[in-house]
Structure 1
Amino acid sequence: MAKFIQILKDINELIVFKHSVFALPFIFIAMIVASKSGSGSMWFGFGLLVLGVLCAVSARNYAMAMNRLLDEDIDRPNPRCSSRPSVDGRIGRANLKAFIIANAVIFVVVAFFINSLAFWLSFVFLAILGGYSYVKRFSSLAHVVLGFCLGLAPIAGVIAVSGEVPLWSVLLCLGVVFWVGGFDVLYSLQDIDYDKGAGLFSIPAIYGQKSSMFISALFHGLCVIFWTLFVWAGGLGFWAYLAVLLSAFILYKEHTIVRADFNKIDKAFFTLNGYLGIMFFILVWIDLW
């Protein structure tokens, strides 16, 4: 029993399950907005809820494990990453590959039971999620690609409910793209020296600290614009606009914290961004209700 618990702990450390808080709220935002506009009710059914959660969890497990597998040569020399289970031997490459395949199969099978569009796009989604790790080796756009990986969450949510991709879901997706891209640039400041030495193409490594702070702020400005357009295109009201306003304030605080003390990047990255997604979902739910 103790060994099984340790395996679960190692898997949790591998995929950092708590980071699901970034994508899940936006999946559910897309699902309740789509359901409300289609049927007049936010409730899309218990079955679809279960299938949606299974898709979200399996897709994220696949993406994180694939990232750990492909980044092993980068992570091993990096002091911040050298203790990861995929690097220190707690989870071997064979087991890691099996975990990746299992979650990919679960994602595709569950998507099949949602609808035909979800099924066929599941292969495209897996290709995008799996390909992210390669981008950092040749392009500083890796931060935006990571944002797009999480931005697929609301697209997947609306496809699950309505089987289509309306304009408002694309705008919500773009907001997530630049939200994640912006805070990933900040997070990468921790590895600026290592990335330079390893020849990686992170924005901090290529453009330096000061320019990276500006680029991150620019990304977050675009995020707020796209989320405002999402609220407008989705026909939402006061509470949804309040969600965007509060998100802008949280992002401002995030930049203030990082500018004042780089040692608090983790606080800005995990705590504030986690609160942002949950707050956004609650206020959109109140608006629709």
Structure 2
Amino acid sequence: MILIWNKFKDILDLIVFKHSIFALPFLLSSMLVASKIANDSAWFGFKALILGIICAISARNFAMASNRLMDEDIDLNNPRCKDRPNINGRIGKKSMWIFIILNALIFIFCSYLINNLAFILSFPVLFILAFYSAFKRFSSFVHLVLGFCLGLAPIAGSIVVLGEIHIFSIFLCLGVTFWTAGFDLLYSLQDMEYDKKAGLYSIPSRFGSKTTLLFSAFFHILAVCFWFIFVFVSPLGNLALMGVIISALILFFEHKIVRKNFSHINKAFFTLNGYLSIIFFIFIWVDLLWN
């Protein structure tokens, strides 16, 4: 029993399960808005809720495990990655392959149960999720590709409830894409020197910390702009606008913290962005209930 529990903890460590908080609130926000459009009610039903959450978790598990496996040669000599389960031997390649395949099958099966569009798109989505980290080997667009991976969550929310990609979900997707790319740039500052030695194409390694901070700020400004557009094209009101404004303030403080001291990057990365996604969701939810 202890062995099973330790293996379970190793898997959670492998996929950094606590970071699931970033995308899940945006999936649910999208589903709430889609339900309001379709049924004039924010409640989309237990089937959509359960299948949507299972798809989100299995897709993220698949993506994280796939990229841990793909990046082993890079992470092996990175001091920051030495305690990852696949690097220090706690999880072997065979176990990782089983985990990857199992989560891919769960994602495809649940997508099939949702609707035809979800099932058809499940295959290209898995392809994108599996290979986004490869971009760091040849392109500085890796941060935006990662952002798009999380940005797929609101697109998925629209598909689950409406069976189509509604315009509101596109703007929410763009907001999440640039928000994620912006905080990933800040997070990547930790690996700037290592990425230079390894010949990787992250923006910090190619352009330095000052330019990275400018890119990150610009991406976050774009994120806030797209979130405002999302509110205006959705059946949302002033409370949702307030949620976007508060999100913008959180991003402002995130940049202030990181610029003051790079050692606070982890705090800014997880704590503030975790709060942002939850607050964003709560304001969308309350706005729809209020209306």
> TM-score band, normalised by the shorter chain?
over 0.9
Letter in 2 for 1:142: V
3-state SS of 1:264 partner: helix
Question: 1:279 matched to which residue of 2?
Answer: 279
Q: Residue 131 of structure 1: CA displacement?
A: 1.2
Q: Residue 188 of structure 1: CA displacement?
A: 0.3
Question: 1:46 matched to which residue of 2?
Answer: 46
Partners in 1 of 2:248 and 2:110 — Cα distance? 35
Question: 2:58 matched to which residue of 1?
Answer: 58
3-state SS of 1:200 partner: coil
Residue deviations 1:213-238 (CA, integer Å, cap 9, x gap) = 00000000000000000000113110
Question: 2:251 matched to which residue of 1?
Answer: 251
Question: 2:138 matched to which residue of 1?
Answer: 138
TM-score normalised over the length of structure 1: 0.99
Please give the residue correspondences for 1:140-289 in structure 2 after superposition, counting only pairs within 5 Å: 140-289=140-289
Percent of paired sites with the same residue: 58
Partners in 1 of 2:235 and 2:43 — Cα distance? 18
Q: Residue 175 of structure 1: CA displacement?
A: 0.1
Question: 1:35 matched to which residue of 2?
Answer: 35
Partners in 2 of 1:171 and 1:162 — Cα distance? 16
Structure 1 unaligned runs (5+)? none
- 4+ residue stretches of structure 1 with deviation over 6 A? none
3-state SS of 1:85 partner: coil
Q: Residue 166 of structure 1: CA displacement?
A: 1.1
Question: 1:3 matched to which residue of 2?
Answer: 3
Partners in 1 of 2:235 and 2:92 — Cα distance? 49
Q: Which stretch of structure 1 is more off in the superposition, 229-238 or 114-123?
A: 229-238
Question: 2:78 matched to which residue of 1?
Answer: 78
Residue deviations 1:223-265 (CA, integer Å, cap 9, x gap) = 0000000000113110110011001100000000000011000
Partners in 1 of 2:152 and 2:198 — Cα distance? 30
TM-score normalised over the length of structure 2: 0.99
Partners in 1 of 2:226 and 2:178 — Cα distance? 9
Aligned partners of 2:59 and 2:126 also within 8 Å: yes
Letter in 2 for 1:13: D
Q: Which stretch of structure 1 is more off in the superposition, 192-201 or 81-90?
A: 81-90
CA RMSD of aligned residues (A): 0.5
3-state SS of 1:127 partner: helix
Please give the residue correspondences for 1:67-106 in structure 2 after superposition, counting only pairs within 5 Å: 67-106=67-106
Partners in 2 of 1:266 and 1:208 — Cα distance? 19
3-state SS of 1:98 partner: helix
Q: Residue 31 of structure 1: CA displacement?
A: 0.3
